[in-house]
Amino acid sequence: MSNLTRLSEFILLGLSSHPEDQKPLFVLFLIMYLVTVMGNLLIVLAIRSDPQLQNPMYFFLSVLSFADICYTTVIVPKMLVNFLSETKTISYNECLAQMYFFLAFGNMDSYLLAAMAIDRYVAICNPFHYVTVMNHRRCVLLLAAFTAFSYLHSLLHVLLVSRLTFCASNVIHHFFCDVNPILKLACSSTSVNRVVAMTEGLASVMAPFGCIVISYLRILIAVLKIPSAAGKRKAFSTCSSHLTVVTLFYGSISYVYFQPLSSYSVKDRIATVIYTVLTSMLNPFIYSLRNKDMKRGLEKLISRIKSQMDRLSTAKAKKICGP
């Protein structure tokens, strides 16, 4: 294929090239996407509607849930279309746009997890100053900084990819436009891209991860000083949900990105599903099933929705039957 710098489209190979796998995969990922959207939307609504959940931890959790909805929406709908399509194409501009928002929301997730770790550190290690340290203004400023950095980070990587020349193939061995699979298609030098990925890209991942590790080391030291076993269990229980999500998210990211570009394979595509789709889907369950306050807030929201639906059905019945 001749010079593809001005190509109009890429072909996304997807998770499987076998025709018999396409419909089962479509059903599976459609269910996962609907569960992700509904679950995270319920988390956002429960936090916004319950005055008892108006604190920094749940503020960051509501933003994380919203970011997870956006994160999966960037990838999964196009993926679902390609499962039922024979061509499985994505336009060049759409591919760059998908990469941009994927990197932006992925970074947002990473920094929000770091903010939640810092929040747990302050709550456990410095409880008397929690209200002043984690005040609403500071939380909003943190969120603004995270958002700005995430979008600038993704813009840098997309601009570097846009300058590449493609002259061998336009088939992306992945289910969305990720950086590494596209770099493998480039016939021009990708040395700048690799240097930026190993410096700025690595720093953008390791900075929030470092915050999480330091926060939990400080929490561990503080908890070990608590004399009673019940007190230790209570302190650890406030962190268990967050630690579970962090392990899933960073474990799969480390597997995919901390290896040579040449070794990128099918296993990496499966690992990518974990941090792009599976973690976002599991977040609502992890936080609601292992958190009493969140569970109570969801129960309140669901009962409120049911009562609203009952009122609507009663009003509709009255309207049909007449006075």
Residue-wise pLDDT for 97-130, tens only, equals 999 999 999 899 999 999 999 988 898 888 888 8
pLDDT band at 4 (very low <50, low <70, confident <90, very high): very low
Per-residue pLDDT for 292 more than 80? no
CB-based burial, 9-33: b 16+ in 10 Å, e otherwise:
ebebbbbeeeeeebeebbeebeebb
Provide φ and ψ at 177, rounded to 5°.
Answer: -85, 85
Residue that is written with structure tokens 């990922």 in the block = 29
Q: Which two tokens stand for residue 142?
A: 């943190």
What is the rounded average pLDDT for all residues in the chain? Answer: 84
| Residues 218 and 225: beta-carbon distance below 8 Å | no
Q: Is 141 helix (H, G, I), strand (E, B) or coil?
A: helix
Q: Which two tokens stand for residue 169?
A: 């193939």
Indicate the range of 1-5, 207-211, 235-239, 242-246 predicted with least confidence.
1-5
Quote the CA–CA distance of 12 and 182 in Å, as a whole number.
Answer: 10
| Residues 90 and 98: beta-carbon distance below 8 Å | yes
pTM of the model: 0.86
Quote the CA–CA distance of 104 and 179 in Å, as a whole number.
Answer: 13
| Residues 43 and 299: beta-carbon distance below 8 Å | no
Per-residue pLDDT for 1 more than 60? no
pLDDT band at 2 (very low <50, low <70, confident <90, very high): very low
Handedness of CA 116, 118, 124, 126 (dihedral sign): negative
Q: What is the CA radius of gyration of the chain?
A: 22
Strands (E), the chain: 9-12, 89-91, 171-172
Within 8 A by CB and 6+ apart from 53, the residues are 46, 47, 293, 294, 297
Quote the CA–CA distance of 120 and 245 in Å, as a whole number.
Answer: 14
Name the residue among 140, 142, 141, 118 with its Cα closest to residue 130. Answer: 118
| Residues 236 and 124: beta-carbon distance below 8 Å | no
| Residues 106 and 171: beta-carbon distance below 8 Å | no
Neighbour tally for 239: CB within 10 Å: 21
89-157-189-262 Cα dihedral, nearest 10 degrees? -70
pLDDT for the residue numbered 151: 93
